[in-house]
């Protein structure tokens, strides 16, 4: 059965937590309840925002992790998650792999629902673990094979993470990043970069090796300076819920500096839930909260921004249909 064929229990209503994401009523025992995630974090999932006037696409999300980090039970079926996202004006998503298991999942699932495209990679914190076990080369070969699929449109998320990986792992992290750059160039795919506390080395590596035609800094975490460097190079900046955080003035400055033709939006769900829902789990249907905050920062009409974001997203990944 195609994943999108899961029947929705009832339509999603703005202002309420959508049914697939809700905890079961105490004592109720319908078949649906077996699919409900048990979210132990305060308040559970955020309410459904008012739908966006023009559909946008979540260009970075993890359906395979969704639910699992919240203590939970089986995740919300992807078809239902995408139905709920559509009710909020989020028409599709890029499902992103971080290791071999999630990359295999990604390569398979993108052929089952037309609202999904995929990205496959070994996360920068995964690469040193594989290298230590002597498995990095084989894993990279499998990533390349998975990346060849027509609906896998990017290598990602790859990059450098100096926050979680210490000095000992940095050599293999860099080796893995460079291999992903090479694969993306040879296969003509986009590159989705995870950059945590490593702006200078990410930029230097891309410039030294030669960046693929389409580069996305996922969950853009730099300030105005990095945004200017991206503008010069034609690299895309994907803003996540972090752009709404009170202590993230640098991200809003970057958004104002960024070439509007290079701006993307994402959830990185189930992580990085936007203000005012921080602390709750994230999902693609929550993304309008981030888009509205971006429109406000930019002083751009919401409709104009949504149209722009969708055009930019399709320029990177191609069309979904």
Closer to Zn ion by CB, 22 or 214: give it: 214
Our separate counts of H helices and E strands in the chain read 10, 8
Residue at shortest CB range from Zn ion:
268
Closer to Zn ion by CB, 89 or 156: give it: 156
Task: For the CB of residue 290, give the shortest distance to Zn ion in the complex, in Å.
Answer: 15
String of contacts with Zn ion for each residue 260-289, x by CB under 5 A: --------x---------------------
Number of residues written out for the chain: 321
71: alpha, beta or left, given left = phi > 0 and alpha = psi -120 to 50?
left
Task: For the CB of residue 190, give the shortest distance to Zn ion in the complex, in Å.
Answer: 15
Task: For the CB of residue 2, give the shortest distance to Zn ion in the complex, in Å.
Answer: 25
DSSP letter string, 4-72 = GGSPPSS---TTS--GGGSPPPTT---GGGGG-----STTSSPPPPPPPSS-EEEEEE-TTTTTGGGT-
Task: For the CB of residue 284, give the shortest distance to Zn ion in the complex, in Å.
Answer: 13
Closer to Zn ion by CB, 83 or 126: give it: 126
Task: For the CB of residue 1, give the shortest distance to Zn ion in the complex, in Å.
Answer: 28
The count of residues interacting with Zn ion (CB under 5 A) is: 1
- Is 99 near Zn ion (CB under 5 A)? no
Q: Which residues pair with 161 in a beta bridge?
A: 196
Residue with tokens 């894993």, as numbered in its chain:
139
- Range 214-243, binding Zn ion (CB under 5 A): none
Residue with tokens 């905050």, as numbered in its chain:
293
Residue with tokens 């995870």, as numbered in its chain:
194
Which residues form the interface with Zn ion (CB under 5 A)?
A: 268
């Amino acid at each position: 059965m195609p994943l999108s064929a899961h029947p929705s229990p009832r339509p999603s209503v703005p202002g309420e937590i959508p049914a697939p994401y809700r905890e079961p009523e105490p004592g109720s025992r319908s078949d649906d309840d077996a699919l409900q995630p048990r979210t132990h974090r305060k308040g559970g999932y955020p309410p459904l925002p008012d739908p966006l006037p023009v559909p946008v696409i979540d260009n970075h999300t993890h359906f395979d992790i969704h639910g699992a980090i919240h203590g939970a039970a089986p995740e919300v079926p992807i078809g239902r998650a995408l139905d709920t996202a559509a009710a909020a004006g989020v028409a599709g998503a890029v499902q992103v792999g971080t290791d071999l298991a999630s990359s295999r999942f990604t390569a398979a699932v993108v052929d089952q629902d037309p609202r999904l495209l995929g990205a496959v990679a070994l996360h920068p914190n995964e690469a040193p673990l594989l290298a230590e076990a002597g498995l990095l080369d084989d894993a990279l070969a499998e990533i390349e094979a998975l990346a060849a699929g027509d609906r896998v449109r990017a290598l990602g998320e790859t990059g450098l993470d100096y926050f979680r990986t210490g000095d000992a792992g940095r050599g293999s992290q860099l080796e893995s990043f460079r291999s992903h750059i090479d694969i993306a160039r040879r296969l003509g795919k986009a590159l989705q970069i995870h950059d945590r506390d490593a702006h200078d080395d990410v930029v230097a590596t891309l410039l030294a090796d030669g960046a693929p035609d389409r580069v996305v800094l996922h969950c853009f975490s730099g300030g105005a300076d990095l945004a200017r460097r991206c503008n010069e190079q034609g690299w895309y900046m994907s803003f996540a819920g972090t752009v709404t955080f009170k202590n993230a003035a640098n991200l809003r400055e970057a958004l104002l500096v960024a070439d509007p033709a290079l701006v993307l939006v994402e959830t990185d769900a189930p992580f990085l839930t936007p203000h005012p829902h921080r602390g709750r789990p994230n999902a693609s249907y929550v993304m309008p909260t981030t888009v509205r905050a971006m429109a406000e920062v930019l002083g751009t009409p919401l409709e104009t921004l949504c149209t722009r974001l969708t055009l930019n997203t399709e320029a990177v990944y191609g069309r979904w249909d």
